[in-house]
């Protein structure tokens, strides 16, 4: 089949690799200029965490090693208290499993190179999709040379991100459900540069400054720096709107992030010039539509954009590619049938990770700082060590497994019920033993 993919971001490029591997001819349209010539776009996260689901997808197209070669493993979180005290909390029971910090630009370039190297693939930059008719199969693009039309596209797959133009053209059809929920929080990136030729903090951790109703995180970059992200309210006290002068920013950092401030020589400049990004959850249905000429599908953020607090948006989008590839194999590459099957299988998992990601914001900004939370994690890890493979924490199931997202909650409930039953039996046994021992003693 001749397939049109819109959006050469992370998911569009990986999807192109999967489709080309199945023998399809793919034209991949991207609104930006070639990133290998134009450099990174400002305002997107500079690095991101890739974990097992993403690695599994990359492994299937032979790219895992190349991607991981440039990644920095983060086997745990490092919590920074206001007084500078550090607490390391491993992500896994044995402390060895890690999520991986990787440059978004490098990952996109690796995927783009891989897609372009596949037979039957053409990548077309500087083409912004502006129109789509699934009835006639006509695609309209804005290009530097003026508007361009492409006719009779048979299959169009929208991998054009959270604000998808492909989705926008489906959105007004009767029966198309769509919702977008913005958080009252925004994000802004700052930098902790390399210090004395090395990292200014431990690069083997995801750093968190939990401050109750807001937080900052930092991920190591390959060059020795850290990219920090503030997740702050958009309005009200301590918000981006409130902290609008250099003096206020300095005073706020001195009060809430003094250890980080000492490592940020460009704080005021970064703060003044880096944009505030929005945090949004987008849900829609259906993810596919069969027109007279064309079948249209959505994938990655275009189908389900989520907030970044579980580090799963790209991982989930990569899993979409694996599932669509599986559905194509099962339907003999009948795209209409495969896209329906893919939506049936994937939608509930996308909805679940959207919820888990929202829950994790509260955990990261607030709960991780409490002693009770740390104690709970220690008990959880002890249970995992005592019952390997039978008791697995939520974090590990999300980040270090490919257990479908929607199966995680029922599994956790089952595990907890089993542990509670075992504890009840143990307690009953102990009480019975104590009662026996307390009984009338035999005379010597």
- Contacting residues toward ligand FAD, per CB under 6 A: 6-12, 29-32, 45, 48-49, 128-129, 159-161, 165, 187, 229, 277, 300-302, 308, 311-315, 317
- In angstroms, what is the minimal distance from the CB of 354 to ligand FAD? 11
d(C-alpha 229, C-alpha 277), whole Å = 10
Beta carbon of residue 391, minimum distance to ligand FAD (angstroms, whole number):
26
Quick one: 220 or 317, whose CB is closer to ligand FAD? 317
Minimum CB separation of residue 6 from ligand FAD in Å reads: 5
In the bound state with ligand FAD, the residue whose beta carbon lies nearer, of 7 and 76, is 7
Nearer to ligand FAD by C-beta: 111 or 264?
A: 111
25/153 Cα distance (integer angstroms): 12
Q: How far is the CB of 46 from ligand FAD (least distance, A)?
A: 9
Nearer to ligand FAD, 90 or 277 (CB): 277
- For the bound state, the minimum distance from the C-beta of residue 385 to ligand FAD, rounded and expressed in Å, comes to 27
Do the Cβ atoms of 111 and 17 come closer than 8 Å? yes
Shortest distance, position 199 Cβ to ligand FAD, whole Å: 19
Chain length of the chain: 444
Which of 41/251 has CB closer to ligand FAD? Answer: 41
Residue number, nearest CB to ligand FAD: 9
Distance CA 36, CA 46 (A): 15
Shortest reach from residue 277's CB to ligand FAD, in Å: 6
Would you say 357 or 383 has its CB closer to ligand FAD?
357
Cα–Cα distance measured from residue 32 to residue 271, given in angstroms and rounded to the nearest whole number? 26
Q: How far apart are CA 261 and CA 273, in angstroms?
A: 17
Cβ neighbours, 10 Å, residue 25: 14
Pair type for strands 155-158 and 295-298: parallel
In the complex with ligand FAD, which residue's Cβ is closer, 30 or 323? 30
3-state secondary structure 99-131: EEEEEHHHHHHHHHHHHHCCCCEEEECCCEEEE
Phi, psi of 119 (to 5 degrees): -65, 140
For 255, other C-beta atoms within 10 Å of its C-beta total: 12
Judge whether 339 and 288 are in contact, CB under 8 Å.
Answer: yes
């Amino acid at each position: 089949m001749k397939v049109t993919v819109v959006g050469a971001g992370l998911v569009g490029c990986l999807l192109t690799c999967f489709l080309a591997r199945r023998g399809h001819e793919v034209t991949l349209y991207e609104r930006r200029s070639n990133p290998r010539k134009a450099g990174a776009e400002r305002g997107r996260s500079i690095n991101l965490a890739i974990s097992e689901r993403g690695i599994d997808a990359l492994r299937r197209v032979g790219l895992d090693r190349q991607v991981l070669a440039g990644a920095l493993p983060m086997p745990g979180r490092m919590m920074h208290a206001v007084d500078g005290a550090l607490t390391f909390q491993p992500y896994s029971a044995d402390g060895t499993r890690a999520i991986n910090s990787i440059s978004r630009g490098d990952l996109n370039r690796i995927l783009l190179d891989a897609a372009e190297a596949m037979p039957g693939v053409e990548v077309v930059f500087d083409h912004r999709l502006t129109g789509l008719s699934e009835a006639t199969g006509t695609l309209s693009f804005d290009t530097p040379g003026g508007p361009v039309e492409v006719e009779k596209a048979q299959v169009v797959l929208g991998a054009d991100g959270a604000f998808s133009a492909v989705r926008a053209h489906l959105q007004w059809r009767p029966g198309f459900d769509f919702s977008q929920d913005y958080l009252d929080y925004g994000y802004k990136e700052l930098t902790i540069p390399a210090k004395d030729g090395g990292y200014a903090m431990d690069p083997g951790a995801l750093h968190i400054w939990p401050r109750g109703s807001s937080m900052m995180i930092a991920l190591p970059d390959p060059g020795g720096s850290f990219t920090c992200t503030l997740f702050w309210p958009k309005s009200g006290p301590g918000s981006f709107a409130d902290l609008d002068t250099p003096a206020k920013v300095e005073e706020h950092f001195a009060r809430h992030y003094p250890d980080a401030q000492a490592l940020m020589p460009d704080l005021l400049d970064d703060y003044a010039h880096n944009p505030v990004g929005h945090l949004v959850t987008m849900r829609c249905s259906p993810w596919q539509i069969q027109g007279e000429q064309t079948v249209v599908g959505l994938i990655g953020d275009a189908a389900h954009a989520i907030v970044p607090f579980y580090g799963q948006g790209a991982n989930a989008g990569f899993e979409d590619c694996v599932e669509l590839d599986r559905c194509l194999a099962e339907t003999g590459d009948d795209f209409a049938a495969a896209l329906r099957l893919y939506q049936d299988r994937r939608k509930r998992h996308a909805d679940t990770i959207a919820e888990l990601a929202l829950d994790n914001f509260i955990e990261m900004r607030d709960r991780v700082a409490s002693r009770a939370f740390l104690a709970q994690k220690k008990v959880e890890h002890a249970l995992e060590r005592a019952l390997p493979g039978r008791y697995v924490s939520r974090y590990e199931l999300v980040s270090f497994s490919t257990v479908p997202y929607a199966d995680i909650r029922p599994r956790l409930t089952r595990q907890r019920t089993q542990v509670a039953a075992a504890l009840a039996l143990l307690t009953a046994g102990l009480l019975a033993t104590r009662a026996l021992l307390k009984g009338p003693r035999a005379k010597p």
